Amino acid sequence: MINRTSLLAGCATALLALCSVPALADDGLYVSADGGGSFFLPNLHLKNAPGTARENFGAGYAMGGALGYDNGDGVRIEVDSNYTLNGLDRIDSVAAPGHIDSKSLMLNSQFDLAPHAVVTPYMGAGAGYENVGIDVPGLSGHDWKPAYQAEAGLRGNLSQDVSVFTEYRLTQSAPEEVDHEHQHFVNHGLLAGLTYRLGS
Protein backbone atom coordinates (compact mmCIF):
# COMPACT_ATOMS: atom_id res chain seq x y z
CA MET A 1 0.00 0.00 0.00
CA ILE A 2 1.29 3.46 -0.93
CA ASN A 3 2.13 5.65 2.06
CA ARG A 4 0.77 9.05 1.07
CA THR A 5 2.70 11.05 3.69
CA SER A 6 6.01 9.42 2.75
CA LEU A 7 5.35 10.01 -0.94
CA LEU A 8 4.71 13.72 -0.44
CA ALA A 9 7.72 14.11 1.88
CA GLY A 10 9.94 12.28 -0.60
CA CYS A 11 8.85 14.52 -3.47
CA ALA A 12 9.55 17.65 -1.41
CA THR A 13 12.99 16.39 -0.37
CA ALA A 14 13.91 15.55 -3.95
CA LEU A 15 12.77 18.97 -5.10
CA LEU A 16 14.95 20.75 -2.53
CA ALA A 17 17.96 18.60 -3.42
CA LEU A 18 17.66 19.14 -7.17
CA CYS A 19 16.90 22.83 -7.38
CA SER A 20 19.81 25.25 -7.29
CA VAL A 21 18.95 27.71 -10.06
CA PRO A 22 17.28 30.95 -8.87
CA ALA A 23 13.77 31.55 -10.13
CA LEU A 24 13.51 33.48 -13.37
CA ALA A 25 11.69 36.76 -13.88
CA ASP A 26 11.10 36.20 -17.62
CA ASP A 27 7.54 35.87 -18.78
CA GLY A 28 6.33 33.59 -21.55
CA LEU A 29 4.57 30.41 -22.55
CA TYR A 30 5.31 27.04 -20.97
CA VAL A 31 4.19 23.42 -21.11
CA SER A 32 4.16 20.97 -18.21
CA ALA A 33 3.56 17.27 -17.62
CA ASP A 34 2.81 15.49 -14.34
CA GLY A 35 1.94 12.13 -12.85
CA GLY A 36 1.38 10.51 -9.49
CA GLY A 37 -1.16 8.89 -7.20
CA SER A 38 -4.94 9.21 -6.96
CA PHE A 39 -6.28 8.74 -3.43
CA PHE A 40 -9.14 9.22 -0.97
CA LEU A 41 -11.96 8.58 -3.39
CA PRO A 42 -15.30 8.63 -1.59
CA ASN A 43 -17.11 5.39 -0.96
CA LEU A 44 -19.94 5.95 -3.40
CA HIS A 45 -23.43 4.58 -2.98
CA LEU A 46 -24.83 2.37 -5.72
CA LYS A 47 -28.50 3.29 -5.59
CA ASN A 48 -29.81 0.94 -8.25
CA ALA A 49 -28.53 -2.18 -6.50
CA PRO A 50 -30.90 -4.12 -4.22
CA GLY A 51 -31.18 -1.72 -1.30
CA THR A 52 -28.17 0.63 -1.29
CA ALA A 53 -24.73 -0.87 -1.88
CA ARG A 54 -21.47 0.88 -0.89
CA GLU A 55 -18.60 0.98 -3.41
CA ASN A 56 -15.05 1.04 -2.02
CA PHE A 57 -12.23 2.15 -4.35
CA GLY A 58 -8.49 1.71 -3.83
CA ALA A 59 -5.52 3.96 -4.63
CA GLY A 60 -4.95 4.62 -8.32
CA TYR A 61 -2.89 6.78 -10.63
CA ALA A 62 -3.14 10.23 -12.21
CA MET A 63 -1.39 11.88 -15.15
CA GLY A 64 -1.81 15.03 -17.17
CA GLY A 65 -0.35 18.20 -18.60
CA ALA A 66 -0.87 21.91 -19.10
CA LEU A 67 -0.19 24.78 -21.48
CA GLY A 68 0.17 28.13 -19.77
CA TYR A 69 1.55 31.64 -19.58
CA ASP A 70 3.86 32.93 -16.82
CA ASN A 71 3.74 36.69 -16.26
CA GLY A 72 7.25 36.64 -14.76
CA ASP A 73 6.16 37.83 -11.32
CA GLY A 74 4.76 34.71 -9.70
CA VAL A 75 1.38 34.49 -11.48
CA ARG A 76 0.53 31.84 -14.07
CA ILE A 77 -2.59 31.14 -16.14
CA GLU A 78 -2.93 27.72 -17.74
CA VAL A 79 -5.23 25.24 -19.42
CA ASP A 80 -4.85 21.92 -17.59
CA SER A 81 -5.99 18.39 -18.42
CA ASN A 82 -5.79 15.38 -16.10
CA TYR A 83 -6.72 11.69 -16.21
CA THR A 84 -7.25 9.46 -13.15
CA LEU A 85 -8.14 5.79 -12.72
CA ASN A 86 -8.94 3.89 -9.50
CA GLY A 87 -9.87 0.23 -9.25
CA LEU A 88 -12.85 -1.07 -7.31
CA ASP A 89 -11.92 -3.12 -4.24
CA ARG A 90 -15.35 -4.29 -3.16
CA ILE A 91 -19.05 -3.55 -2.98
CA ASP A 92 -20.08 -3.63 0.67
CA SER A 93 -17.90 -6.50 1.98
CA VAL A 94 -17.78 -8.52 -1.25
CA ALA A 95 -14.83 -8.29 -3.67
CA ALA A 96 -15.95 -7.04 -7.08
CA PRO A 97 -14.39 -6.04 -10.42
CA GLY A 98 -14.66 -2.54 -11.79
CA HIS A 99 -13.11 0.93 -11.81
CA ILE A 100 -13.81 4.64 -11.83
CA ASP A 101 -11.96 7.07 -14.10
CA SER A 102 -12.08 10.77 -14.89
CA LYS A 103 -10.91 13.18 -17.57
CA SER A 104 -10.83 16.89 -16.82
CA LEU A 105 -10.26 20.15 -18.69
CA MET A 106 -9.68 23.18 -16.43
CA LEU A 107 -8.65 26.82 -16.63
CA ASN A 108 -6.25 27.44 -13.70
CA SER A 109 -4.54 30.33 -11.97
CA GLN A 110 -1.40 29.75 -9.86
CA PHE A 111 0.29 32.18 -7.46
CA ASP A 112 3.83 31.85 -6.10
CA LEU A 113 4.03 32.69 -2.39
CA ALA A 114 7.74 33.54 -2.60
CA PRO A 115 8.40 34.78 -6.17
CA HIS A 116 11.99 34.52 -7.43
CA ALA A 117 13.09 32.20 -4.58
CA VAL A 118 15.14 29.10 -5.43
CA VAL A 119 12.23 26.95 -4.26
CA THR A 120 8.83 28.58 -3.86
CA PRO A 121 5.55 27.31 -2.45
CA TYR A 122 2.53 28.08 -4.59
CA MET A 123 -1.24 27.81 -4.54
CA GLY A 124 -3.78 27.62 -7.31
CA ALA A 125 -7.40 27.12 -8.26
CA GLY A 126 -9.28 26.25 -11.41
CA ALA A 127 -12.67 25.60 -12.91
CA GLY A 128 -13.90 23.68 -15.92
CA TYR A 129 -15.49 20.37 -16.75
CA GLU A 130 -14.86 16.77 -15.75
CA ASN A 131 -16.01 13.54 -17.38
CA VAL A 132 -16.36 10.79 -14.78
CA GLY A 133 -16.84 7.22 -15.92
CA ILE A 134 -17.77 4.32 -13.70
CA ASP A 135 -17.86 0.61 -14.52
CA VAL A 136 -18.99 -1.55 -11.61
CA PRO A 137 -21.56 -4.33 -11.31
CA GLY A 138 -24.96 -2.73 -11.75
CA LEU A 139 -23.73 0.67 -12.97
CA SER A 140 -21.81 1.81 -16.04
CA GLY A 141 -21.44 5.05 -18.02
CA HIS A 142 -19.79 8.47 -18.37
CA ASP A 143 -21.01 12.02 -17.86
CA TRP A 144 -19.56 15.55 -18.21
CA LYS A 145 -20.22 17.94 -15.34
CA PRO A 146 -18.90 21.34 -14.12
CA ALA A 147 -15.94 20.91 -11.77
CA TYR A 148 -13.35 22.84 -9.80
CA GLN A 149 -9.93 22.12 -8.34
CA ALA A 150 -7.57 23.56 -5.75
CA GLU A 151 -3.83 22.90 -5.56
CA ALA A 152 -0.80 23.60 -3.40
CA GLY A 153 2.81 22.67 -4.03
CA LEU A 154 6.50 23.50 -4.29
CA ARG A 155 8.32 24.59 -7.45
CA GLY A 156 11.98 25.10 -8.27
CA ASN A 157 14.23 25.54 -11.32
CA LEU A 158 16.59 22.87 -12.65
CA SER A 159 17.92 25.10 -15.44
CA GLN A 160 17.09 28.30 -17.29
CA ASP A 161 14.31 26.50 -19.18
CA VAL A 162 13.20 23.60 -16.95
CA SER A 163 11.55 23.59 -13.53
CA VAL A 164 10.26 20.75 -11.35
CA PHE A 165 7.26 20.73 -9.03
CA THR A 166 5.43 18.53 -6.53
CA GLU A 167 1.77 19.18 -5.78
CA TYR A 168 -1.34 18.21 -3.83
CA ARG A 169 -4.54 18.60 -5.86
CA LEU A 170 -8.21 18.38 -4.86
CA THR A 171 -10.75 17.94 -7.65
CA GLN A 172 -14.52 17.90 -7.23
CA SER A 173 -17.34 17.78 -9.76
CA ALA A 174 -21.08 18.18 -9.65
CA PRO A 175 -22.98 14.89 -9.16
CA GLU A 176 -22.69 12.71 -12.25
CA GLU A 177 -25.77 11.31 -13.96
CA VAL A 178 -24.86 7.70 -14.85
CA ASP A 179 -27.55 5.15 -15.71
CA HIS A 180 -30.11 7.58 -14.20
CA GLU A 181 -28.24 7.49 -10.87
CA HIS A 182 -26.35 10.37 -9.20
CA GLN A 183 -22.71 9.69 -8.28
CA HIS A 184 -20.73 12.30 -6.31
CA PHE A 185 -17.00 12.43 -7.21
CA VAL A 186 -14.10 13.90 -5.19
CA ASN A 187 -10.47 13.05 -5.89
CA HIS A 188 -7.24 13.82 -4.00
CA GLY A 189 -3.97 13.59 -5.95
CA LEU A 190 -0.27 13.72 -5.10
CA LEU A 191 1.65 14.68 -8.25
CA ALA A 192 5.16 15.50 -9.44
CA GLY A 193 6.10 16.99 -12.77
CA LEU A 194 8.29 19.07 -15.05
CA THR A 195 7.71 22.43 -16.71
CA TYR A 196 9.49 23.58 -19.87
CA ARG A 197 9.63 27.27 -20.78
CA LEU A 198 8.88 27.86 -24.48
CA GLY A 199 10.34 31.38 -24.49
CA SER A 200 9.19 34.94 -23.94
Q: What is the pLDDT at residue 1?
A: 45
Residue 112 lies in a domain: no
Q: How far apart are CA 141 and CA 134, in angstroms?
A: 6
Stated pTM of the model = 0.78
pLDDT greater than 50 at residue 95? yes
> Is the residue at 190 inside a domain?
yes
The answer to the question of residue 177 being in a domain is yes
CATH number of the domain enclosing 63: 2.40.160.20
- Mapping DSSP onto H, E and C, the string for the chain reads CCCHHHHHHHHHHHHHHHCCECCCCCCEEEEEEEEEEEECCCCCEECCCCCCEEEEECCEEEEEEEEEEECCCCEEEEEEEEEEEEEEEEECCEECCCEEEEEEEEEEEEEECCCCCCEEEEEEEEEEEEEEEEEECCEEEEEEEEEEEEEEEEEEECCCCEEEEEEEEEEEEEEEEECCEEEEEEEEEEEEEEEEEEEC
Task: Give pLDDT tens digits for 135-146.
Answer: 877 777 788 889
Counting the structural domains of the chain, the total is 1
Residue 68 is assigned to a structural domain of this protein: yes
Residue 15 scores a pLDDT above 50: no
Which amino acid is residue 185, in one-letter code?
F
**Which whole number is the average pLDDT over 102-118?**
91
Which are the contacts of 39, defined by CB distance < 8 A and separation ≥ 6? 2, 4, 59, 60, 187, 188, 189, 190
Half-sphere exposure of 113 (CA within 13 A, CB side): 11
- What does the pLDDT average to over 185-194? 92
53 found inside a domain: yes
**Rounded to the nearest 5 degrees, what angle is found at the Cα of 156, between the Cα atoms of 124 and 12?**
80
Decide which of 89 and 31 is more confident: 31
Which of 15-19, 24-28, 46-50, 184-188 is predicted least confidently? 15-19
pLDDT greater at residue 186 or residue 154: 154
Residue 179: the pLDDT is 59
Q: Is the dihedral of CA 121, 123, 128, 133 positive or negative?
A: positive
Q: Would residue 154 count as lying in a domain?
A: yes
The mean predicted confidence, pLDDT, of the chain is 81
pLDDT tens digit sequence for 31-76: 999 999 998 666 666 655 555 666 777 889 999 999 999 988 889 9
- Across 161-180, average pLDDT: 84
92-96, 100-104, 122-126, 173-177: which is most confident: 122-126
Give the amino acid at 109. Answer: S
- 109 within some domain: no
Q: Considering the domain boundaries, does residue 132 fall inside one?
A: yes
Question: Residue 47's domain spans which residues?
Answer: 4-104+119-199
Task: Name the band, by pLDDT with cuts 50, 70 and 90, for residue 133.
Answer: confident
